[in-house]
Amino acid sequence: MPPLQSVLAVSAVIAAILAIRAHYLEESRRWQVYAFKPLATLLILALALSLSPARPEYQWAVAAGLLFSTAGDVFLMLPRDRFVAGLASFLVAHLCYVWAFGIGVSFAGKPLLWLPYFAAGGMVVALIWPGLKPALRAPVTLYVVVIAVMAGQAVERWHALGSAVALAAAIGAGLFVVSDAVLAIDRFRRHFRAARAVTLATYWAAQLLIALSISAELLAQ
């Protein structure tokens, strides 16, 4: 990886670690969350834009997803939690990723590849359903469907292309599902202390892998 991309990737990882750590600090030092959480995602966005793409439209779709993800980060970290706005931002981000993962390959050509994600999504919805306010049930269910489509299409892209970048995107999409599942269970079913660390670590790993899937240099591997 060229020096600029290496610096951006390492900087994103450091910012992510600092953001996760900040969530466990005393209240007076929680300002670090506001500094490092959006910074980590913006650094991954900068990395995505700095890579030489195999397909420019794929790069722009992923970059759009990262931009909406940054908006979601901001909404979810505000003192007055804007959960619905954050959910909507990430839903649009996943639609951008669906667009990216459908470029150059068939869409839903092998629906059986999607089945594990829909099954996992259904189990998570069943777990959190009693804790969901009635007004949130429809948007949360829609979100789960969209992220399942995103992850399923990422796997389908990997099966079609068989490249390292497609595998990176598929792993990243799977980690995104894990991140959101842990977040949902922690928020609506049962809180546990390690949830924030697990959610954020898998979230930024997912975003970094999806960003790296842009690279034309990795395409031949």
State the Cα–Cα distance between residues 168 and 154, nearest whole angstrom: 9
pLDDT in tens, the chain (221 residues): 678 889 999 999 999 999 999 988 866 677 788 899 999 999 999 999 999 898 999 999 999 999 999 999 999 888 776 889 999 999 999 999 999 999 999 887 788 889 999 999 999 999 999 999 999 999 999 999 999 999 999 999 999 999 899 999 999 999 999 999 999 999 999 988 899 999 999 999 999 999 999 987 655 44
Of 94, 23, 12, which is closest to residue 47 (Cα–Cα)? 12
The helix/strand/coil state of 45 is helix
What is the token pair recorded at 97? 């990723």
Output the CA–CA distances (angstroms, integers) from residue 43 to 30, 90, 173, 207, in the order listed.
21, 18, 19, 11
Residue 122 exposed, middle or buried by CB count within 10 Å (0-12, 13-18, 19+): middle
**CB of 221 closer than 8 Å to CB of 164:** yes
Unique residue bearing structure tokens 């269970």: 185
Cα separation of 35 and 65, whole Å?
A: 21
pTM of structure = 0.93
CA angle 173, 50, 157 (to 5 degrees): 30
